[in-house]
Protein backbone atom coordinates (compact mmCIF):
# COMPACT_ATOMS: atom_id res chain seq x y z
CA UNK A 1 0.00 0.00 0.00
CA UNK A 2 1.81 3.08 -1.19
CA UNK A 3 0.59 6.55 -0.31
CA UNK A 4 1.44 9.71 1.51
CA UNK A 5 2.15 9.26 5.19
CA UNK A 6 -0.39 11.10 7.31
CA UNK A 7 1.20 10.31 10.67
CA UNK A 8 4.87 9.62 11.28
CA UNK A 9 6.48 8.38 14.47
CA UNK A 10 10.17 9.06 14.94
CA UNK A 11 12.06 7.35 17.80
CA UNK A 12 8.93 7.69 19.91
CA UNK A 13 9.57 6.71 23.53
CA UNK A 14 7.56 6.90 26.73
CA UNK A 15 9.11 6.26 30.12
CA UNK A 16 7.18 5.93 33.41
CA UNK A 17 9.70 6.08 36.27
CA UNK A 18 12.18 3.37 35.33
CA UNK A 19 9.74 1.47 33.12
CA UNK A 20 9.92 2.05 29.40
CA UNK A 21 6.38 1.55 28.12
CA UNK A 22 7.05 2.53 24.52
CA UNK A 23 10.57 2.04 23.25
CA UNK A 24 11.97 3.91 20.26
CA UNK A 25 9.23 3.36 17.70
CA UNK A 26 9.57 4.44 14.08
CA UNK A 27 6.46 4.05 11.97
CA UNK A 28 4.59 5.76 9.14
CA UNK A 29 0.81 5.55 8.80
CA UNK A 30 -0.51 6.04 5.27
CA UNK A 31 -3.41 8.33 4.46
CA UNK A 32 -6.66 6.39 4.40
CA UNK A 33 -5.35 3.03 5.61
CA UNK A 34 -6.75 0.81 8.31
CA UNK A 35 -3.77 0.13 10.52
CA UNK A 36 -3.96 -2.18 13.49
CA UNK A 37 -1.45 -2.35 16.30
CA UNK A 38 -1.55 -5.77 17.93
CA UNK A 39 0.11 -6.84 21.13
CA UNK A 40 -0.54 -8.67 24.34
CA UNK A 41 -1.56 -6.62 27.38
CA UNK A 42 1.39 -4.70 28.75
CA UNK A 43 3.05 -4.47 25.35
CA UNK A 44 2.70 -0.68 25.36
CA UNK A 45 0.06 -0.40 22.66
CA UNK A 46 -2.37 1.61 24.81
CA UNK A 47 0.37 4.00 25.91
CA UNK A 48 1.39 4.41 22.27
CA UNK A 49 -2.20 5.20 21.34
CA UNK A 50 -2.57 7.68 24.21
CA UNK A 51 0.49 9.52 22.90
CA UNK A 52 -0.97 9.56 19.39
CA UNK A 53 -4.24 11.03 20.70
CA UNK A 54 -2.53 13.60 22.91
CA UNK A 55 -3.71 12.21 26.22
CA UNK A 56 -0.15 11.31 27.08
CA UNK A 57 3.00 13.15 26.09
CA UNK A 58 6.10 11.54 24.65
CA UNK A 59 9.25 11.30 26.76
CA UNK A 60 11.34 11.60 23.63
CA UNK A 61 11.00 11.29 19.88
CA UNK A 62 8.51 12.98 17.59
CA UNK A 63 4.98 12.63 16.28
CA UNK A 64 4.44 14.32 12.95
CA UNK A 65 0.98 14.89 11.52
CA UNK A 66 1.22 15.72 7.82
CA UNK A 67 4.77 16.73 8.54
CA UNK A 68 3.90 19.01 11.47
CA UNK A 69 5.32 18.13 14.86
CA UNK A 70 2.38 17.70 17.26
CA UNK A 71 4.13 16.19 20.30
CA UNK A 72 2.91 18.83 22.71
CA UNK A 73 -0.52 19.45 21.27
CA UNK A 74 -3.14 18.30 23.81
CA UNK A 75 -5.93 15.93 22.76
CA UNK A 76 -8.58 18.62 22.46
CA UNK A 77 -6.43 20.54 19.95
CA UNK A 78 -5.63 17.59 17.68
CA UNK A 79 -7.67 16.80 14.59
CA UNK A 80 -7.88 13.19 15.71
CA UNK A 81 -10.45 11.32 17.72
CA UNK A 82 -10.65 8.09 19.62
CA UNK A 83 -13.27 5.43 20.27
CA UNK A 84 -12.61 4.15 23.77
CA UNK A 85 -12.49 0.62 25.08
CA UNK A 86 -15.39 1.43 27.45
CA UNK A 87 -16.87 3.58 24.66
CA UNK A 88 -17.01 6.33 27.32
CA UNK A 89 -20.40 7.55 26.17
CA UNK A 90 -21.94 10.33 28.25
CA UNK A 91 -24.53 8.44 30.33
CA UNK A 92 -26.44 11.59 31.23
CA UNK A 93 -26.99 12.53 27.59
CA UNK A 94 -29.21 11.21 24.80
CA UNK A 95 -27.94 9.48 21.69
CA UNK A 96 -28.26 12.75 19.76
CA UNK A 97 -26.49 14.79 22.43
CA UNK A 98 -23.67 12.27 22.52
CA UNK A 99 -23.15 12.46 18.77
CA UNK A 100 -23.39 16.24 18.71
CA UNK A 101 -21.02 16.72 21.63
CA UNK A 102 -17.98 17.88 19.66
CA UNK A 103 -20.12 20.22 17.53
CA UNK A 104 -21.63 21.75 20.67
CA UNK A 105 -18.12 22.32 22.05
CA UNK A 106 -17.28 24.17 18.83
CA UNK A 107 -20.41 26.28 19.26
CA UNK A 108 -22.19 24.96 16.17
CA UNK A 109 -25.81 26.04 15.74
CA UNK A 110 -28.24 23.49 17.29
CA UNK A 111 -30.19 22.94 14.06
CA UNK A 112 -27.02 22.24 12.09
CA UNK A 113 -25.86 19.95 14.86
CA UNK A 114 -29.04 17.95 14.78
CA UNK A 115 -28.98 17.61 11.00
CA UNK A 116 -25.43 16.29 11.12
CA UNK A 117 -26.27 13.88 13.94
CA UNK A 118 -29.25 12.47 12.03
CA UNK A 119 -27.08 12.10 8.93
CA UNK A 120 -24.51 10.08 10.88
CA UNK A 121 -27.24 8.00 12.53
CA UNK A 122 -28.56 7.15 9.10
CA UNK A 123 -25.11 6.19 7.91
CA UNK A 124 -24.57 3.97 10.95
CA UNK A 125 -28.04 2.40 10.71
CA UNK A 126 -29.31 3.89 13.95
CA UNK A 127 -33.09 4.59 13.82
CA UNK A 128 -33.99 8.27 13.71
CA UNK A 129 -36.20 7.80 16.80
CA UNK A 130 -33.09 7.06 18.80
CA UNK A 131 -32.11 10.73 18.62
CA UNK A 132 -33.60 11.50 22.01
CA UNK A 133 -33.20 8.02 23.48
CA UNK A 134 -31.12 7.75 26.65
CA UNK A 135 -27.82 6.28 25.58
CA UNK A 136 -27.74 3.92 28.57
CA UNK A 137 -30.91 2.27 27.26
CA UNK A 138 -29.24 1.22 23.98
CA UNK A 139 -27.93 -2.26 23.28
CA UNK A 140 -24.22 -3.06 23.03
CA UNK A 141 -24.10 -2.84 19.26
CA UNK A 142 -26.10 0.36 19.20
CA UNK A 143 -23.81 1.94 21.76
CA UNK A 144 -20.87 0.95 19.60
CA UNK A 145 -22.41 2.80 16.65
CA UNK A 146 -23.20 5.84 18.80
CA UNK A 147 -19.58 5.98 19.90
CA UNK A 148 -18.44 5.75 16.31
CA UNK A 149 -20.91 8.39 15.19
CA UNK A 150 -19.79 10.66 18.01
CA UNK A 151 -16.19 10.32 16.87
CA UNK A 152 -17.07 10.80 13.18
CA UNK A 153 -19.02 13.96 14.02
CA UNK A 154 -15.73 15.48 15.11
CA UNK A 155 -14.59 15.00 11.49
CA UNK A 156 -11.17 13.79 12.51
CA UNK A 157 -8.28 13.27 10.12
CA UNK A 158 -7.49 10.07 11.95
CA UNK A 159 -9.81 7.87 13.97
CA UNK A 160 -8.26 5.83 16.78
CA UNK A 161 -9.81 2.74 18.32
CA UNK A 162 -8.80 1.33 21.69
CA UNK A 163 -10.10 -2.25 21.61
CA UNK A 164 -13.73 -1.12 21.43
CA UNK A 165 -14.92 -4.62 20.59
CA UNK A 166 -13.13 -6.50 23.36
CA UNK A 167 -16.11 -6.64 25.73
CA UNK A 168 -18.59 -7.78 23.09
CA UNK A 169 -19.73 -11.36 22.53
CA UNK A 170 -18.25 -13.31 19.67
CA UNK A 171 -21.10 -13.21 17.20
CA UNK A 172 -21.80 -9.49 17.49
CA UNK A 173 -18.09 -8.81 17.39
CA UNK A 174 -17.79 -10.56 14.06
CA UNK A 175 -20.64 -8.46 12.65
CA UNK A 176 -19.21 -5.23 14.01
CA UNK A 177 -15.73 -6.00 12.69
CA UNK A 178 -17.15 -6.18 9.18
CA UNK A 179 -19.29 -3.11 9.76
CA UNK A 180 -16.26 -1.17 10.88
CA UNK A 181 -14.38 -2.19 7.76
CA UNK A 182 -17.33 -1.02 5.66
CA UNK A 183 -17.43 2.32 7.48
CA UNK A 184 -13.72 2.67 6.83
CA UNK A 185 -14.36 2.19 3.16
CA UNK A 186 -17.28 4.62 3.11
CA UNK A 187 -15.52 7.40 4.98
CA UNK A 188 -12.07 6.90 3.49
CA UNK A 189 -10.53 8.09 6.77
CA UNK A 190 -7.37 6.78 8.36
CA UNK A 191 -8.25 4.26 11.07
CA UNK A 192 -5.69 3.30 13.67
CA UNK A 193 -6.90 0.43 15.76
CA UNK A 194 -5.36 -1.39 18.67
CA UNK A 195 -6.28 -4.85 19.88
CA UNK A 196 -4.79 -7.87 21.55
CA UNK A 197 -6.51 -10.13 19.04
CA UNK A 198 -4.58 -10.76 15.86
CA UNK A 199 -7.63 -12.50 14.49
CA UNK A 200 -9.59 -9.26 14.77
CA UNK A 201 -6.70 -7.40 13.19
CA UNK A 202 -6.55 -9.81 10.28
CA UNK A 203 -10.22 -9.31 9.42
CA UNK A 204 -10.16 -5.53 9.25
CA UNK A 205 -6.70 -4.20 8.61
CA UNK A 206 -4.76 -3.06 5.60
CA UNK A 207 -1.59 -3.29 7.63
CA UNK A 208 -0.73 -4.68 11.02
CA UNK A 209 2.01 -3.74 13.47
CA UNK A 210 2.89 -6.23 16.18
CA UNK A 211 4.15 -4.83 19.49
CA UNK A 212 6.06 -6.58 22.19
CA UNK A 213 7.47 -5.07 25.39
CA UNK A 214 7.29 -1.53 24.05
CA UNK A 215 8.86 -2.32 20.71
CA UNK A 216 7.38 -2.74 17.27
CA UNK A 217 8.54 -6.20 16.20
CA UNK A 218 6.95 -6.59 12.78
CA UNK A 219 4.88 -4.47 10.39
CA UNK A 220 3.16 -5.85 7.32
CA UNK A 221 -0.05 -6.76 5.57
CA UNK A 222 -2.19 -9.43 7.25
CA UNK A 223 -0.97 -11.86 4.63
CA UNK A 224 2.68 -11.06 5.35
CA UNK A 225 2.23 -11.32 9.08
CA UNK A 226 0.44 -14.62 8.70
CA UNK A 227 2.65 -16.29 6.20
CA UNK A 228 6.00 -14.75 7.02
CA UNK A 229 6.33 -14.06 10.71
CA UNK A 230 9.86 -12.94 11.46
CA UNK A 231 10.03 -13.96 15.09
CA UNK A 232 8.84 -16.77 17.30
CA UNK A 233 6.75 -14.21 19.19
CA UNK A 234 4.84 -13.11 16.09
CA UNK A 235 4.32 -16.63 14.89
CA UNK A 236 2.97 -17.73 18.26
CA UNK A 237 0.81 -14.66 18.50
CA UNK A 238 -1.05 -15.65 15.35
CA UNK A 239 -2.43 -18.73 17.06
CA UNK A 240 -1.59 -22.39 17.70
CA UNK A 241 1.67 -23.22 16.00
CA UNK A 242 4.34 -25.85 16.40
CA UNK A 243 7.73 -24.43 17.28
CA UNK A 244 10.95 -26.44 17.19
CA UNK A 245 14.28 -25.06 18.40
CA UNK A 246 16.84 -25.54 15.62
CA UNK A 247 20.40 -24.70 14.55
CA UNK A 248 21.51 -24.37 10.95
CA UNK A 249 23.75 -27.14 9.69
CA UNK A 250 23.50 -26.70 5.90
CA UNK A 251 21.98 -24.61 3.13
CA UNK A 252 18.54 -26.13 3.68
CA UNK A 253 19.19 -28.36 6.62
CA UNK A 254 18.63 -27.93 10.34
CA UNK A 255 19.47 -29.80 13.52
CA UNK A 256 16.65 -30.29 16.05
CA UNK A 257 18.54 -31.32 19.17
CA UNK A 258 15.38 -32.05 21.13
CA UNK A 259 14.42 -34.85 18.76
CA UNK A 260 18.00 -35.85 17.91
CA UNK A 261 17.21 -35.51 14.23
CA UNK A 262 17.96 -33.35 11.22
CA UNK A 263 15.20 -31.48 9.42
CA UNK A 264 14.82 -30.23 5.89
CA UNK A 265 13.67 -26.71 5.22
CA UNK A 266 13.62 -23.96 2.60
CA UNK A 267 17.00 -22.33 2.01
CA UNK A 268 18.31 -20.92 5.27
CA UNK A 269 18.64 -17.09 5.09
CA UNK A 270 22.12 -15.67 5.25
CA UNK A 271 23.31 -15.04 8.77
CA UNK A 272 20.87 -17.45 10.37
CA UNK A 273 22.63 -19.73 12.83
CA UNK A 274 20.04 -20.68 15.42
CA UNK A 275 16.31 -20.06 15.83
CA UNK A 276 13.03 -21.81 15.52
CA UNK A 277 11.25 -23.74 12.87
CA UNK A 278 7.53 -22.90 12.86
CA UNK A 279 5.09 -25.44 11.42
CA UNK A 280 1.42 -24.56 11.21
CA UNK A 281 -1.03 -27.20 12.46
CA UNK A 282 -2.58 -27.42 9.02
CA UNK A 283 0.83 -28.07 7.44
CA UNK A 284 1.33 -31.13 9.64
CA UNK A 285 -0.24 -34.38 8.60
CA UNK A 286 -0.43 -37.97 9.65
CA UNK A 287 1.67 -40.17 7.42
CA UNK A 288 1.93 -43.90 6.89
CA UNK A 289 5.68 -44.11 6.39
CA UNK A 290 8.60 -41.71 6.99
CA UNK A 291 9.29 -41.18 3.28
CA UNK A 292 5.96 -39.53 2.47
CA UNK A 293 7.07 -36.06 3.65
CA UNK A 294 10.34 -34.17 3.88
CA UNK A 295 10.32 -34.43 7.67
CA UNK A 296 8.74 -36.98 9.97
CA UNK A 297 8.50 -37.60 13.74
CA UNK A 298 6.98 -40.47 15.68
CA UNK A 299 4.66 -39.81 18.63
CA UNK A 300 1.55 -40.89 20.42
CA UNK A 301 -1.93 -39.51 19.83
CA UNK A 302 -2.94 -37.79 23.04
CA UNK A 303 -6.32 -36.21 22.37
CA UNK A 304 -8.58 -34.83 19.69
CA UNK A 305 -10.76 -31.72 19.65
CA UNK A 306 -13.55 -30.98 17.23
CA UNK A 307 -13.48 -27.27 16.31
CA UNK A 308 -16.49 -26.81 14.05
CA UNK A 309 -15.27 -27.35 10.52
CA UNK A 310 -11.85 -28.53 11.67
CA UNK A 311 -10.50 -31.19 13.99
CA UNK A 312 -7.39 -30.64 16.08
CA UNK A 313 -5.13 -33.42 17.38
CA UNK A 314 -2.49 -33.33 20.04
CA UNK A 315 0.44 -35.58 19.42
CA UNK A 316 3.17 -36.10 22.01
CA UNK A 317 6.67 -36.57 20.76
CA UNK A 318 8.69 -37.08 23.91
CA UNK A 319 7.70 -34.15 26.11
CA UNK A 320 6.86 -31.95 23.13
CA UNK A 321 3.21 -31.52 22.17
CA UNK A 322 2.48 -31.07 18.46
CA UNK A 323 -0.81 -29.78 17.13
CA UNK A 324 -2.18 -31.21 13.93
CA UNK A 325 -5.26 -29.77 12.29
CA UNK A 326 -7.42 -31.34 9.60
CA UNK A 327 -10.66 -30.49 7.89
CA UNK A 328 -13.54 -32.45 9.32
CA UNK A 329 -14.14 -34.34 6.13
CA UNK A 330 -10.58 -35.60 6.31
CA UNK A 331 -10.65 -36.51 10.00
CA UNK A 332 -8.01 -38.94 11.20
CA UNK A 333 -9.42 -42.20 12.49
CA UNK A 334 -6.78 -42.92 15.15
CA UNK A 335 -7.34 -43.75 18.80
CA UNK A 336 -5.84 -42.33 21.96
CA UNK A 337 -2.33 -43.55 22.69
CA UNK A 338 -1.95 -44.95 19.16
CA UNK A 339 1.55 -44.72 17.82
CA UNK A 340 1.43 -42.21 14.93
CA UNK A 341 3.81 -40.67 12.46
CA UNK A 342 3.47 -36.92 11.76
CA UNK A 343 5.23 -35.21 8.93
CA UNK A 344 5.57 -32.00 6.95
CA UNK A 345 7.25 -30.70 3.86
CA UNK A 346 9.92 -28.03 3.75
CA UNK A 347 7.52 -25.51 2.10
CA UNK A 348 5.12 -25.88 5.05
CA UNK A 349 7.62 -24.52 7.56
CA UNK A 350 9.01 -21.08 8.35
CA UNK A 351 12.30 -20.19 9.98
CA UNK A 352 12.13 -17.44 12.60
CA UNK A 353 14.46 -15.88 15.12
CA UNK A 354 13.74 -15.36 18.75
Partner 1 sequence: MNRLFKTFGPGPRLAVPIMLFLLGGFAAPLLAVIAYSFVPARTFSLWQKWSLGNYVEIFQSSIYISFLWSLGLAVATVVILAIVCYPVAFGLTRVFGRWATLITLLFALPLFVSENVRIYGWILFFIKNGVLLGSLKSLFGFELESIVFTTGLTLLGMVYVYLPFMLFPMTLGVSMVPQQTRDAAFDLGASRWQVFKEVDLPLSMPGVVIGFLLTFVLAVGALAEAKVLGGQRVIPITHDIEIAFTYAQNWPLGAAVSVLLMLVVGTLVLLVLRRFDLDTIVGRR
Residues that bind partner 1 (CB under 8 A): 53-55, 74-76, 81-82, 84-86, 88-92, 101-102, 105-106, 136, 150-151, 154
- CB of residue 50 to partner 1, shortest distance in Å: 9
CB-nearer residue toward partner 1: 153 or 350: 153
* Of 154 and 286, CB closest to partner 1: 154
CB of 348 to partner 1, least distance (A): 45
Q: Please state the closest distance from residue 149 (CB atom) to partner 1, in A.
A: 12
Q: Based on CB atoms, which residue is closest to partner 1, 151 or 238? A: 151
Choice between 151 and 210, CB closer to partner 1:
151
Whose Cβ is closer to partner 1: residue 144's or residue 295's?
Answer: 144
Closer CB to partner 1, 137 or 185, in the complex: 137
> Taking the complex as a whole, how short is the minimal distance between the CB of residue 160 and partner 1, in angstroms?
9
Q: Give the shortest CB-82-to-partner 1 separation in angstroms.
A: 5
Distance of closest approach, residue 192 Cβ to partner 1, in angstroms: 14
SS3 of the chain: the string is CCCCEEEEEEEEEEEECCEEEEEEEEEEEECCCEEEEECCCCCCHHHHHHHHHCCCCCCEEEEEECCEECCCCCHHHCCEEEECCCCCCCCCCEHHHHHHHHHHHCCCCHHHHHHHHHHHHHHCCCCHHHHHCEHHHCCHHHHHHHHHHHHHHCCCCEEEEECCCCCCCHHHHHHHHHHHHHHHHHHCCEEEEEECCHHHHHHHCCEEEEEECCEEEEEECHHHHHHCCCEHHHHHHHCCCEEEEEEEEECCEEEEHHHCEEEECCCCCCCCCEEEEEECHHHCEEECCHHHCCEEEEEEEEEEEEECCEEEEEEEECCEEEEEEEEHHHCCCCCCCCEEEEEECHHHEEEEEC
Amino acid sequence: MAGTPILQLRNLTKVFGNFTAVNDIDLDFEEGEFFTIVGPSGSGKTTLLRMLTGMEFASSGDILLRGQRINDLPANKRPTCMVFQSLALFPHRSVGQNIEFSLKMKGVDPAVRKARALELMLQLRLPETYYSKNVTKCSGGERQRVALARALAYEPDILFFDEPLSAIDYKLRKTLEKELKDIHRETGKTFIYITHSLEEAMVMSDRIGVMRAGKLVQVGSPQEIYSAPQTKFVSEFIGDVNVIAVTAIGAASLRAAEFATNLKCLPVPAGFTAGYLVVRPESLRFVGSPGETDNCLEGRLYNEYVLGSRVQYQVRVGDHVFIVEKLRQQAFGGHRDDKVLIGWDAEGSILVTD
